[in-house]
Amino acid sequence: MAATAISFINIKGGVGKTACVVNIGAILAKKHKKKVLIVDLDPQSSSSLWLLNPKQYIKHTQNNCLSVKILFDDRINGNHNFQFDKIAIKGVPISLEGNPHIPNLHLLPASPRLFITEDEIYRNKESLYFEYLYLGLQPYYNKYDYILFDCPPNMYSITKNAIFASEHCIVPSVPDFLSLAGIKILANLLRDFTSSVNTEYSGRPVTTISAAIISHYRSNVIDQGTQIGELKSKFLQLKDKRLISPNAPVLEPSIRLCAAVAASTSEHLPVILHKPRANGAIDYQKLTADFLKYF
């Protein structure tokens, strides 16, 4: 059975996208015994740097350029250098002694050189540029239960590759006006892209927004509840306009703003390993249970 492939996307930065990928992925692998691959597609390499300490990251990605960039390079230049078993890191995070903390959690790391890849795809863009990632990873889909793509905060070529390689898109958001406004823009951009893909390619499902996640929730801020209500109302409107999946939920609960989640990045651990009793760890475990009802 092939993996359920999901892109975590938002054209707005700072909405908890990477936190959702890392922590949901870790909980699926550790608590629910799922085999999970995180694919870091953001040149900022946030998922990679969260799950690897700096020495591990530099040793793996910079000395030998072992990152997802090689997959794109092969497609752009006609090379055959991508070796999944050599580039994917199996069992992250890794202790200082070299032991895997979560054996079922694997990482295909990013590199800042993906900025170059984005330019190269744009300069050499051909009609099926959006299929590079899917074609490179498709042989490995049956090895995982879930493949989670951590996308850059845009709708450029690499993000479009992730969307094409996915069955679903999940939109992490924060409860404020700007994020709320951005969801409709994202839904329209996604529809435009998938519509153009359908005219050129058959055999892949149409990818749409399948869920939203609310991050950085602060119960002591008066208008947070109002903004969450507006987000859910916006989802109903987008469903009526067929811009998102008719069954798309706003996953529960909202993820509370939590210092332990922020601190876990410096420890290079998911929050369930860093502070398992923190609000963020509790929220992500409940949210992952809700995630499993739909995906």
Mean pLDDT over each residue of the chain, to the nearest integer: 93
pLDDT of residue 199: 60
pLDDT in tens, 200-236: 666 777 899 999 999 998 877 777 888 888 888 888 9
pLDDT of residue 182: 85
d(CA 110, CA 107) in angstroms, rounded, equals 9
Q: What's the mean pLDDT in 179-198?
A: 88
pTM: 0.96
Going by pLDDT thresholds of 50, 70 and 90, the confidence category of residue 177 is confident
pLDDT of residue 64: 66
pLDDT of residue 202: 64
Residues 6+ apart with CB under 8 A from 46: 18, 40, 150
Query: What's the CATH code of the domain at 26?
Result: 3.40.50.300
pLDDT in tens, 22-71: 999 999 999 999 999 999 999 999 999 999 999 999 999 886 689 999 99
Residue range of the domain that includes 165: 4-294
pLDDT in tens, 100-120: 999 999 999 999 999 999 999
d(CA 110, CA 42) in angstroms, rounded, equals 6
d(CA 108, CA 19) in angstroms, rounded, equals 16
pLDDT of residue 219: 76
pLDDT of residue 256: 95
Characterise 186 by phi-psi region: left (phi > 0), alpha (psi -120 to 50), beta (else). alpha
Residues 6+ apart with CB under 8 A from 85: none
d(CA 68, CA 91) in angstroms, rounded, equals 17
Q: Name the DSSP class of 205.
A: P
d(CA 187, CA 202) in angstroms, rounded, equals 21
Q: How many domains does the chain have?
A: 1
Percent of the chain past pLDDT 70, that is, above it, reads: 97
pLDDT in tens, 95-105: 988 999 999 99
d(CA 77, CA 91) in angstroms, rounded, equals 31
d(CA 291, CA 192) in angstroms, rounded, equals 27
Going by pLDDT thresholds of 50, 70 and 90, the confidence category of residue 181 is confident
DSSP tally for the chain: helices H, then strands E: 13, 7
pLDDT of residue 263: 98
Residue 124 scores a pLDDT above 70: yes
pLDDT in tens, 161-175: 999 999 999 999 998
